[in-house]
């Protein structure tokens, strides 16, 4: 059986996402205002969707996924990470990073679609 970076990364993003989701719901709900708490939950939601997608890619038979996996991982880290930090710090310039992460995630899934089309 081959090792699957997508499965490993997706599983790690999922376990961290579950922990951060619980932390947001139980540890931050009385500390953060509603808007930053919403940013936090958006970050968790996108992180979990990307985690599940990566797990699915890890289980797929597609090959040549190194570039899409890289784009998806970096995009998730930038998107969710900037929202987590924005919620915790209130530094609004972090919001300029979030769309870059979204673009990387979109490019990652477009790459997957291209690979699937060629398969």
pLDDT tens for 3-12 read 799 999 999 9
pLDDT (0 to 100) of residue 1: 56
- What does each C-alpha distance from 116 to 7, 62, 79 come to in angstroms? 18, 7, 25
Share of the chain above pLDDT 70, in %: 98
pLDDT (0 to 100) of residue 29: 93
Q: Judge contact between 74 and 53, C-beta under 8 A.
A: no
119: confidence class by pLDDT, cuts 50, 70, 90? confident
Task: State the Cα–Cα distance between residues 1 and 26, nearest whole angstrom.
Answer: 39
pLDDT tens for 95-104 read 999 999 999 9
Read off the pLDDT of each residue in 53-82 and give the average, rounded to a whole number.
96
């Amino acid at each position: 059986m081959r090792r699957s970076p997508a499965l490993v990364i997706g599983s790690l993003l999922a376990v961290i996402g579950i922990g951060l989701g619980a932390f947001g719901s139980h540890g931050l709900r009385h500390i953060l205002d509603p808007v930053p708490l919403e940013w936090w939950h958006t970050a968790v939601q996108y992180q979990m969707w990307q985690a599940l997608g990566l797990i699915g890619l890890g289980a797929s038979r597609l090959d040549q996924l190194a570039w899409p996996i890289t784009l998806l991982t970096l995009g998730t880290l930038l998107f969710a990470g900037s929202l987590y930090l924005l919620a915790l710090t209130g530094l609004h310039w972090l919001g300029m990073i979030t769309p870059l992460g979204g673009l990387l995630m979109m490019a990652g899934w477009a790459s997957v679609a291209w690979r699937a089309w060629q398969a």
